[in-house]
């Protein structure tokens, strides 16, 4: 059995409520194994005999649509992929605190050739971005930027690829 983490985009925001305990039970009933969740922002850890993450994401998306009545883009990474995300951070010397935050945006698919230009256009003295094929790391110096997450909110629109973002602490906590 392979270990995975599903990142659900934009749940428990506004009227898009998904109770994690109920979701855990629904996923187990759908055949997912050892399902657990971490906080209410849509982080689901599970095991599956499938090695097709895209098919697993579609299965979860369908389950969410059928049970909650709204679409929830779902991005899945294996635990091995998440371990590589942590090991390959471009900010190894940074310890996130109130002044400096690190985020990882998980892309549903590689962004393509235009991505390097998009990432370069979003860089600033306060916001440093680094992109791999399917992740964007963002370091934000809070004392230099009052709004904090504006650059992250622009990623999906400018890259043209669905994505969801988690802070560094959450990325590390969901590795099981």
Q: What is the pTM of this model?
A: 0.93
Set out the domains of the chain in order of their start, with CATH numbers. Answer: 2-81 (3.30.70.1280), 88-173 (3.30.70)
Region 144-148: mean pLDDT is 65
Q: In angstroms, what is the C-alpha Rg of the chain?
A: 16
Quote the tokens at residue 97: 């605190």
**pLDDT reading at 117 higher than 70:** yes
Q: What is the mean pLDDT of residues 71-96?
A: 96
Region 119-146 average pLDDT: 91
Q: Is the pLDDT of residue 166 over 90?
A: yes
pLDDT for 147: 58
Question: Which pLDDT band, with edges at 50, 70 and 90, does 148 fall under?
Answer: low
Cβ neighbours of residue 107 closer than 8 Å, sequence gap 6 or more: 75, 134, 135, 136, 159, 161, 162, 163
pLDDT digits (tens, 9 = 90+) for 11-38: 888 888 999 999 999 999 999 999 999 9
Long-range Cβ contact pairs of 79-88 (< 8 A, separation 24 or more) = 79/3, 79/4, 79/5, 79/175, 79/176, 82/5, 82/171, 82/174, 82/175, 83/175, 85/135, 85/171, 86/171, 86/172, 86/175, 88/132
Residue 87 pLDDT: 97
CA–CA separation, 109 vs 88, rounded Å? 19
């Amino acid at each position: 059995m392979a270990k995975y983490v599903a990142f659900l985009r934009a749940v428990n925001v506004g009227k898009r409520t998904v109770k994690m305990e109920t979701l855990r039970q629904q996923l187990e009933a759908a055949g997912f194994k050892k399902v657990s969740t971490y906080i209410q922002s849509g982080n689901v850890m599970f095991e599956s005999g499938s090695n097709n993450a895209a098919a697993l994401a579609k299965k979860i998306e369908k389950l969410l649509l059928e049970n909650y009545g709204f679409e929830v883009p779902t991005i899945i990474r294996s635990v091995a992929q998440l371990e590589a995300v942590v090991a390959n951070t471009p900010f190894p010397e940074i310890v996130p605190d109130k002044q400096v935050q690190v985020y990882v945006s998980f892309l549903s698919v590689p962004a393509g050739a235009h991505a390097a230009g998009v990432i370069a256009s979003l860089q600033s003295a306060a916001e440093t971005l680094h992109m791999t094929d399917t992740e964007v790391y963002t370091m934000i110096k809070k004392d230099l930027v009052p709004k904090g997450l504006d650059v992250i909110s622009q990623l999906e629109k400018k890259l043209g690829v669905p994505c969801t973002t988690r802070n560094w602490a959450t990325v590390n906590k969901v590795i099981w």
